Structure 1
C-alpha cells in the first residue's frame, strides 16, 4: 500500500476513498472520475502517482467551471467532459441544489433530506446531456480503464450498465462506487449492481477504515441504504 502525500483539503474525501487510492492505483494508470465535483479525489491521485491519464465527467455547468479552475494546473493527460455518464445517450432532467451541488442528481431528494440537510428546493436543469462509457470509449479508441470512480448520487448503477461492453470484455480493472439513502430515493438497489458485477467476473468489497471486506454472497441485511463505499475488482 502506497503512503499518500496529503496536502489538499480533504473535506469531501472519505477515509475509505484514500484506501482505494493507496491500494489500487499505480503510475501510468487511466482513471475515469465520473461525478468529479471539484476533482478532489483525482487531485490526490495526481499528486501521488506519475503519468496518470484522468478523464473527468461533471454534468453541472456551475460545478464544471470550478472543476476547470481547480484542476487547471494539471496540463497533461487531463480530459474534461461537461456531460453526465449514464446508461443512455441523449439527455435527462437534472435536479440542481445550488447551495449543495454535490447532492444534485437525476432524482429529487426526499423532503426530509431537503428540509434537514440541504435546506432548499432544487432548480431543475432540463437538458443535461448524457453519454455511455461504452460509446465514449469506442469513439475515442480507449481500450483500458484501470480505475472507474463513480459518485453520482444514486445513479451509480446507470453508469455501470452503460459500461456493460467494457466490463464484459475485461477492460475495467476496478470500480469504486458509493451507496446510501439516495439509492432508495432513486429506486435502485445494491443487490442489482452486486449481481451485475459478480456475474461478470468481479469480486465486490465493502471498504472501511480498516480495509477491504470481501462480500462473497449478497445478503438482505446489506440492503440497508446506510452510507457506505464499495470496490469491485476484476478477477484476473
Structure 2
C-alpha cells in the first residue's frame, strides 16, 4: 500500500472516530473541522500559502498552525484522548510536556474544560504557535525537559515538527539542529507554583523516561499519566522501564494503544494512581 493510501486510510479512520465516538461536540462543528482539514491539507500540498502561519476556527476557538497535517493532528488528540473526561474531575489541572503547537493544550482547555494547562515545548517556531493556542501563554515554557538542568541539542524533523526530539532516530531525517535549554519538570513546576496535577501528558519522541526521572515531586501529586512509550526506536527508556518506574511510584496501567500494527515505534499508555 502506498504512503498516500495509508495516510488516507488513517485519516478516514480518524473521521469515523470523531463523528461517532467523540461526544459533547455538535455534529456541525465536527463536519466543519473535517472540511477544513482536507481543504487545508490540499492547499498545503499544492503550495498555496507557503510556509506562513495560518489559523481557522475550530469548535468556536481559533487554532493557529503551520503544517498541512496540523489540523489532522488536533483531530487525532480528540479521537485518542476523549475518554479522559470520564476519569478526570471537573476543571482539571493539566501538565503537557512536548506540547508542539498546542494541540493538547487546545483539547484540554476546550474538551476537558481545564482550569489550568501548563505546556512545555523546546522548538521556537512551534512555541510561538503554542503560545497563540494556549489557554494562558504565561503557563507556557520554551525548553526541553531532561533529568539534568543545562542544555541539549534539539533535532528538528523534516516530515513534521511533532517528530522532533533531542534523541535523534537513525532512520529519521532532520532539517536543523540547535542547542536549547533543558530543565527538570520538578523545577518548572516549582517555578510556576503548580500544586496537585490531575493529568500529566508526556510525548517527547523518545526522551520520556528522562522526563519521568526529572519529576519525582510532580509524580507524587499526580492523578493520571498519559505517556508515549517507545518500542522499536531509540529512546532513553522503553516501555518496560517506563512501566516499572511508574508502578514503583504507585501507578497502575489502565489503558494501552498502539499506533500501528506489527512493529509499532511507540505505544500510548495511561497510568492511574492506585
Normalised by the length of structure 2, the TM-score is 0.67
| Superposition deviation, residue 180 in structure 1 | 3.9
Aligned to 1:17, which of 81, 96, 113?
81
Structure with greater Cα Rg = 2
Look up the SS of the partner of 1:185 in the other structure. Answer: coil
Computed over aligned residues only, the root mean square deviation of the Cα atoms, in angstroms, reads: 2.6
Structure 1 position 104, deviation (Å): 0.6
> CA contact under 8 A between 2:210 and 2:236: conserved in structure 1?
no
1:166 maps to 2:215:
no
Aligned to 1:31: 94
Q: Unpaired runs of 5+ in structure 2?
A: 1-21, 34-57, 59-69
The equivalent residue for 1:205 is: 254
The aligned runs of 1:142-157 (5 Å cut-off) are: 142-157=194-209
Give the alignment's TM-score, normalised by structure 1. Answer: 0.76
Distance 1:128 1:4, change over 3 A: farther
Aligned equivalents of 1:37, 1:17: Cα separation in 2: 16
Given that 1:26 and 1:49 are in contact with CA atoms closer than 8 Å, whether structure 2 keeps it comes out as no
Q: Which runs of 4+ in 1 moved over 6 A?
A: none
State the aligned residue count: 206
Structure 1 residues 187, 42: CA separation in 2 closer, same or farther (over 3 Å shift)? closer
CA distance in 2, matches of 1:175, 1:226: 20
Question: Taking CA–CA contacts closer than 8 Å with sequence separation of 6 or more, which of the two structures ends up with the larger relative contact order?
Answer: 1
Q: Which has the higher helix share?
A: 2
SS at match of 1:184: coil
Task: Give 1:228's aligned residue.
Answer: 267
